[in-house]
């Protein structure tokens, strides 16, 4: 196959995964009416097999209103979303909901715990959530979603890597190793994140893999910057720093025990973006623009992922995250190819 064929197959795989993302949402029952969302730290491990028991106990406590529960950060933290007394927004209603939640969780809490202790020590966060709705046929999701969701996602980066190697064939440059390394660790991160529903440790491992991918991209962009003797743009550095720090500051109350990993990842992500923005001064404008645009899309994708996971889930999050992520990788790779070809032709 020629190089353009690999891009076509890449877009087919990306479209397949986006369809799979919609079906995946149906299968995993990410449907709720909205209401109050709570992040509860039980200060002890909650086995995945106990989640159904916790959900049943809370359903009884909430007068039959079944909550949505998902694990977050680690095995001791759960996100609980309930529509119980959804139409009441007073502090009194908040207190009633929290008291009912305490009642439903009593088998997993210390026997002598007080309302004040629960509210201050065990409840990490609380917020009002908008409803999420998905209208696809659940049966269809159970039938074909595994190939589309898992298979197509696993194919995306290998297809880009093949496209990169075919397009840069015959060019000798250390940059090829750095870009190839970034794609390799991105692929490992993609695979690890597929298993987050099994255990939250996979989110941490995936985060580490993508952090490594960004480090490879940082060195790639630095290599280009030094070769082309590009100057630093303080204004762009300030913009990058302000955005990164603002996002981390906003997420801080919702991160729980994930603060340090997310802060570290955020700093590396911001450094990657800053390095890419310097390439806007490249003489090869198409190459520079492509890399800058791709890096910016990467930051947008990761920002949406963080907001969806730690702050508030939003409709079509998975689709938007993967669409911007896939295009981000594609534009970075195409920019790198254009740059390598221009250098090889000098």
**pLDDT band at residue 29 under the 50/70/90 scheme:** very low
CA dist., res. 10 & res. 16, Å (int): 10
Domains of the chain as residue ranges with CATH:
35-129 (3.30.70), 171-344 (no CATH)
For residue range 269-311, what is the model confidence (pLDDT) as tens digits? 999 999 999 999 999 999 999 999 999 999 999 999 999 888 8
* β-pair partners for 125: 39
Q: Which of 93-107, 140-154, 204-218, 325-339 has the lowest mean pLDDT?
A: 140-154
Average pLDDT, rounded, for the chain: 86
Residue 148 vs residue 306, higher pLDDT: 306
The number of angstroms, rounded, from the C-alpha of 53 to the middle of its chain's C-alpha atoms is: 28
What is the predicted pLDDT for the residue at 127? 80
pLDDT one-digit tens code per residue, 311-334: 877 777 888 999 999 999 999 999
Closest to 265 measured CA to CA, from 325, 210, 220, 222:
210
Using an 8 Å Cβ cutoff, are 254 and 306 in contact?
Answer: no
3-class SS at 35?
Answer: strand
pLDDT score of 136 more than 70: no
In the numeric block, which tokens belong to residue 80? 């609980």
3-state class (DSSP) for residue 197: coil
Mean pLDDT of 101-124: 90
pLDDT of amino acid 318: 84
What span, in angstroms and rounded, lies between the C-alpha atoms of 346 and 344?
6
Name the DSSP class of 131: -
What pLDDT is recorded for position 130? 67
Which strands sit side by side in the sheet containing 35-41, from one edge to the other? 68-72, 74-82, 35-41, 123-129
Instruction: Identify the three-state secondary structure at position 72.
Output: strand
What pLDDT digit, counting tens, does each position of 74-112 carry? 567 888 888 888 888 888 888 999 999 999 999 889 988
């Amino acid at each position: 196959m020629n190089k353009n064929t690999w891009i076509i197959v890449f877009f087919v795989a990306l479209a397949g995964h986006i369809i799979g993302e919609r079906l995946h949402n149906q299968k995993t029952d990410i449907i709720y009416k909205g209401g109050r969302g709570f992040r509860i730290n039980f200060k002890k491990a909650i086995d995945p097999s106990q989640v159904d028991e916790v959900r049943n106990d809370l359903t009884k406590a909430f007068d039959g209103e079944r909550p949505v529960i998902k694990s977050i950060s680690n095995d001791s933290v759960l996100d609980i979303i309930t529509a119980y007394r959804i139409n009441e927004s007073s502090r009194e209603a908040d207190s009633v909901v929290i008291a009912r939640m305490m009642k439903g969780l009593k088998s997993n809490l210390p026997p002598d715990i007080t309302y004040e202790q629960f509210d201050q020590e065990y409840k990490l966060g609380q917020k009002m959530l908008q409803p999420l709705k998905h209208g696809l046929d659940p049966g269809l999701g159970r039938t074909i979603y595994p190939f589309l969701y898992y298979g197509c996602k696993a194919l995306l980066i290998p297809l880009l890597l093949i496209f990169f190697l075919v397009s840069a064939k015959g060019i000798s440059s250390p940059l090829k190793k750095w870009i190839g390394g970034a794609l390799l660790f991105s692929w490992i991160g993609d695979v690890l994140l597929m298993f987050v529903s099994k255990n939250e440790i996979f989110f941490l491992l995936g985060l580490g893999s993508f952090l490594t991918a960004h480090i490879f991209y940082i060195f790639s962009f630095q290599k280009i910057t030094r070769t082309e003797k590009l100057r630093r743009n303080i204004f762009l550095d300030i913009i990058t720093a302000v955005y990164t720090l603002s996002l981390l500051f906003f997420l801080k109350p919702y991160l729980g025990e994930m603060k340090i990993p997310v802060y570290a990842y955020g700093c590396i992500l911001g450094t990657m973006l800053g390095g890419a923005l310097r390439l806007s001064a490249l003489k090869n404008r198409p190459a520079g623009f492509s890399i800058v645009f791709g890096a910016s899309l990467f930051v947008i994708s990761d920002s949406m992922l963080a907001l969806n996971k730690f702050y508030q889930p939003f409709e079509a999050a998975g689709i938007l995250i993967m669409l911007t992520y896939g295009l981000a990788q594609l534009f970075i790779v195409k920019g790198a190819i254009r740059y390598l070809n221009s250098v090889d032709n000098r």
